[in-house]
Structure 1
């Protein structure tokens, strides 16, 4: 659990996401759906470009599934190919909470603030899918917060997109009727 002091120090909004790194995304989606009734899921394959990990460019292909449980977005990540720090989690046999995500409006300003505080960036990248752009950064916060913190900024072009359950439901609805068809699992 992130202490109030760390949240205040980093000026974090309310937790918006819990991320899990897993080895079989379809099996995990089926389990969450059957056991907890969590659906719909939006499934996408993403190759973050650019993707910088500890100062080095990497090119992982990630299969990502998103759903909501209440006001919290659940993210499942499976590394399909390439190298990514996400693999450290599953190589250790751990399919558990990997990070907490926080939706922010100005990721660059937040990252400058983190650098000034001496907090490193483990991985930073941009994912583009169907006109939506997600800029993200995983912070080296295990010592301070007990878990990796991810900052996320969603947008359509240059326009910020608030990510919440309502927007997600709309994207699933649109996705089930457009080029994302088959990528929304109900």
Structure 2
């Protein structure tokens, strides 16, 4: 028993040493700071580039997570449906290619081409934007609404209630946008993100 307890203590220390250290991220109702990240086409993308947008469906996703890959077609469908309504998708890859080589920028370009992404797929190489949002999984969704004060965070969590990709009963993001378009606040405005944990840079 003592040996098992000691091993658990050591494992906890190792995990803590490699865990990201950052303050709590944006909360519902917070105004989100703009960012500028490189897209798979080589150009930088910012929220300010979308002057006519009513808001944004910001999704942290990646190349390798089975859950994230299972959502790709639904993310493409979200962009197709809601871009025209003023809520384009912006995808961000938060994973470190040093930990998972298949998350490299070149692999991102290949994945975007293979799937025919209709939205930006941005690289966050130092986790700067990821930490601001306190994203933890892929996929992890943040719905922003553009207001006179700035881009306000209105929903955090899962895209829908079916991470297996079969037949979702509740489409959280779509319901949240419908609420905003109707002049009300999303309910729920927070759900649990289901997917793979983010691959953080190893502590040097």
TM over 0.5: no
Specify the structure having the higher radius of gyration (Cα). Answer: 2
Higher fraction of helix = 2
Give TM-score, length-normalised by structure 2: 0.28
Give TM-score, length-normalised by structure 1: 0.30
